């Protein structure tokens, strides 16, 4: 343990004198010197204090800090500027804020309301176009907010706010380009793709304003305890999805990320009934009108095609085997979506390529030898067949959870068989043999589509190219 340093009495006296000399109050030749020194010390104190930040703010993520700061300042800036102006006025000038005949006991509430309206108008003129109501969802790209758009007469819109990260901003620019082309060729929104109203850059955050829609078909399914949709509801939603995606394909565009989360109801109001057998409340959506959303990964035919596209469960075999992809990969995704609507669970519940291929073979039969010969992913195959051990734990899982497609039928009624005939045609391994969406709309499954259900779903006429 170190010893405390000791000093002789003479050293202690000299050190005490030095400390006293340093603490001595400085002398001033004039009052102006005294004020100048006080100002200098005041500036030094403020400068030092300006580096102090709250711990809670520092603990936020790097991306969250500018987001919170910029958006909060936007809403407070006007009121703070008024407070600053009031503080700068001399005490005698406070009268300028009130009329000469003003008194606390004689307040005109009508004039107060008028001043509030004037302040609100001024607030809007200073750039606050969107008033946030609630958060609709969040993702890696940023978040989607429900807002009131004051320039659209107070209409409610969905505002997609992109993080100030270059890769997300670039994806947003590509999405805006696709949405502008769609608006140009479908101004009346007949082909059921989400409508973009406007876009802008707010302090580095790309913001896209959309029509406000309701729950996604997946979220409704989830909130309904994964109770599948009825065959009639599946028919109407399937027709709309095929119509919307056919519109994209006709115009040399592939969505590449079709899934129930990206199919949204226009209105998700529902009726409630009680299931006596299962002892639970069950919801039935009133209207099955839907829109296709999320064009952040959409790709024109002439653009670069990424090697991997689509969310895992809806990914086509040609994408897994890296054989190149085009419009048919969207058709495969639609087949998986319709199966999920009909049964309430995912067809290919996996996160591994080899297991995914094993599930396909269990449900749809063996992978064609031509695709096996052409693929660069030979590690998944051995002697022209899938390298898969059915006796392993993964093999047991696939065997117990997957079965041939037709064995998933819930009824032997003709319309159920027609649906599965449509799904089988969409889940064809060979992209060239897969059902085209133009033919899918003529499938017998859609012959019983009600007139009221088909209203507003006029077929696409002509081949209008929006890729240029």
Overall average pLDDT of the 235-261 stretch: 97
Percent of the chain with pLDDT over 70: 69
Does residue 140 sit in the same domain as residue 281?
Answer: no
Does residue 308 sit in the same domain as residue 394?
Answer: yes
* Residue 220 falls inside a structural domain: yes
Does residue 206 sit in the same domain as residue 329?
Answer: no
Closest CA to 127 of 200, 195, 66, 65: 200
Structural domain span for residue 133: 126-211
pLDDT at 101: 45
pLDDT digits (tens, 9 = 90+) for 58-102: 444 444 444 443 444 444 444 444 444 444 444 444 444 334 444
Does residue 225 sit in the same domain as residue 206?
Answer: no
Q: Assign residue 204 the CATH number of its domain.
A: 3.30.200.20
Q: Does the annotation list 286 as a binding residue?
A: no
Overall average pLDDT of the 251-270 stretch: 96
Q: Regarding predicted confidence, which is higher, 381 or 106?
A: 381
Does residue 228 sit in the same domain as residue 166?
Answer: no
Q: Considering the candidates 257, 330, 387, 465, report the single residue annotated as catalytic.
A: 257
**Total structural domains within the chain:** 2
Does residue 166 sit in the same domain as residue 272?
Answer: no
* Residue 224 falls inside a structural domain: yes
Does residue 332 sit in the same domain as residue 221?
Answer: yes
Does position 55 have pLDDT exceeding 80, yes or no?
no
* Residue 256 falls inside a structural domain: yes
* Residue 82 falls inside a structural domain: no
Does residue 292 sit in the same domain as residue 429?
Answer: yes
Does residue 202 sit in the same domain as residue 174?
Answer: yes
Last residue of a domain, one of 150, 176, 211: 211
Last residue of a domain, one of 180, 211, 242: 211
pLDDT digits (tens, 9 = 90+) for 115-144: 656 655 654 555 567 888 888 988 888 999
Q: Assign residue 379 the CATH number of its domain.
A: 1.10.510.10
pLDDT classification of 391: cutoffs 50, 70, 90? very high
- In SS3 terms, the chain reads as CCCCCCCCHHHHHHHHHHHHHHHCCCCCCCHHHHHHHHHHHHHHHHHHHCCCCCHHHHCCCCCHHHHHHHHHHHHHHHHHHHHHHHHHCCHHHHHHHCCCCCCCCCCCHHHHHHHHHHHHHHHHHCCCCEEEEEEEEEECCEEEEEEEEHHHCCEEEEEEEECCCHHHHHHHHHHHHHHHHHHHHCCCCCCCECCEEEEEEECCEEEEEEECCCCEHHHHHHHCCCCCCCHHHHHHHHHHHHHHHHHHHHCCEECCCCCHHHEEECCCCEEEEEECCCCEEEEEECCCCEEECCCCCCEECCCCCCCCCCCHHHCCHHHHCCCCCCCHHHHHHHHHHHHHHHHCCCCCCCCCHHHHHHHHHHHHCCCCHHHHHHCCCHHHEECCEECCCCCCHHHHHHHHHCCCHHHHCCCCCHHHHHHHHHHHHHCCCCHHHCCCHHHHCCCHHHCCCCHHHHCCCCCCCCCCCCCC
pLDDT digits (tens, 9 = 90+) for 393-424: 999 999 999 999 999 999 999 999 999 999 99
pLDDT digits (tens, 9 = 90+) for 360-387: 999 999 999 999 999 999 999 999 999 9
pLDDT at 105: 46
* Residue 297 falls inside a structural domain: yes
Q: Regarding predicted confidence, which is higher, 436 or 56?
A: 436
Separation of alpha carbons 281 and 120, rounded Å = 45
Overall average pLDDT of the 435-445 stretch: 95
pLDDT classification of 333: cutoffs 50, 70, 90? very high
* Residue 101 falls inside a structural domain: no
Does residue 245 sit in the same domain as residue 198?
Answer: no
Does position 51 have pLDDT exceeding 80, yes or no?
no
Q: Regarding predicted confidence, which is higher, 391 or 459?
A: 391
pLDDT at 277: 85
| Phi, psi (degrees; rounded to nearest 5) at 463 | -120, 90
In order of 129, 365, 382, 411, 447, the CA distances from 418 in angstroms are 50, 20, 36, 11, 10
439 is catalytic: no
* Residue 64 falls inside a structural domain: no
Separation of alpha carbons 466 and 8, rounded Å = 94
Buried b (16+ CB within 10 A) or exposed e, 287-323: ebbbbbbbbbbbbbeeeeeeeebbbbbbbbbbbbbeb
Does residue 205 sit in the same domain as residue 222?
Answer: no
pLDDT classification of 110: cutoffs 50, 70, 90? low
* Residue 88 falls inside a structural domain: no
Percent of the chain with pLDDT over 90: 59
pLDDT at 151: 83
Separation of alpha carbons 359 and 402, rounded Å = 7
Does position 28 have pLDDT exceeding 60, yes or no?
no
Last residue of a domain, one of 211, 231, 253: 211
Does residue 295 sit in the same domain as residue 236?
Answer: yes
Separation of alpha carbons 32 and 18, rounded Å = 29
Closest CA to 236 of 158, 304, 286, 288: 288
Does position 107 have pLDDT exceeding 70, yes or no?
no
pLDDT at 33: 55
């Amino acid at each position: 343990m170190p010893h405390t340093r000791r000093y002789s009495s003479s050293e202690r006296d000299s050190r005490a004198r030095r400390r006293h000399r340093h603490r001595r109050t400085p002398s001033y030749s004039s009052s102006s010197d005294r004020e100048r020194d006080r100002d200098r010390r005041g500036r030094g104190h403020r400068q030092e204090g300006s580096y102090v930040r709250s711990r809670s703010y520092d603990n936020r993520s790097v991306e969250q800090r500018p987001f919170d700061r910029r958006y909060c300042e936007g809403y407070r800036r006007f009121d703070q500027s008024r407070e600053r102006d009031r503080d700068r006025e001399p005490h005698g000038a406070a009268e300028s804020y009130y009329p000469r005949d003003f008194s606390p006991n004689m307040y005109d509430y009508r004039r107060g309301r008028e001043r509030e309206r004037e302040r609100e108008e001024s607030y809007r003129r200073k750039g606050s176009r969107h008033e946030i109501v609630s958060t609709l969802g969040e993702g890696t790209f940023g978040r989607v907010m429900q807002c009131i758009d004051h320039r659209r007469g107070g209409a409610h819109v969905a505002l997609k706010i992109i993080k100030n990260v270059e890769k997300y901003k670039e994806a947003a620019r590509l999405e805006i380009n696709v949405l502008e082309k769609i608006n140009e060729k479908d101004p009346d929104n007949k082909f059921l793709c989400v409508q973009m109203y406007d876009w802008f850059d707010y302090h580095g955050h790309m913001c896209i304003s959309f029509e406000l829609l309701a729950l996604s078909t997946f979220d409704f399914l989830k909130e309904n305890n994964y109770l599948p949709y009825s065959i009639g509801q599946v028919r109407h939603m399937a027709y709309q999805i095929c119509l919307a995606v056919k519109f994209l394909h006709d115009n040399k565009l592939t969505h590449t990320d079709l899934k129930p989360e990206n199919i949204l109801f226009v209105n998700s109001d529902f009726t409630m009934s009680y299931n006596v057998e299962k002892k639970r409340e069950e919801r039935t959506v009133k209207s099955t009108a839907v829109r296709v959303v999320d064009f952040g990964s959409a790709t024109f035919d002439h653009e670069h095609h990424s090697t991997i596209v689509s969310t895992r469960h809806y990914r086509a075999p040609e994408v897994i085997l890296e054989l190149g992809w085009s419009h048919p990969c969207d058709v495969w995704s639609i087949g998986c979506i319709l199966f999920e609507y009909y049964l309430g669970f995912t067809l290919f519940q996996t996160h591994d390529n080899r297991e995914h291929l094993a599930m396909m073979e269990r449900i749809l039969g063996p992978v064609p030898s031509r695709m096996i010969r052409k693929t660069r992913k030979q590690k998944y195959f051995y002697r022209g067949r899938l390298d898969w051990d059915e006796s392993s734990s993964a093999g047991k899982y696939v065997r117990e959870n997957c079965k041939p497609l037709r064995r998933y039928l819930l009824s032997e009624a003709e319309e159920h068989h027609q649906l599965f005939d449509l799904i089988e045609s969409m889940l064809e391994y060979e992209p060239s043999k897969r059902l085209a969406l133009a033919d899918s709309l003529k499938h017998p499954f859609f012959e019983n589509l009600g007139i009221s259900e088909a209203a507003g779903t006029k077929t696409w006429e002509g081949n209008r190219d929006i890729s240029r």
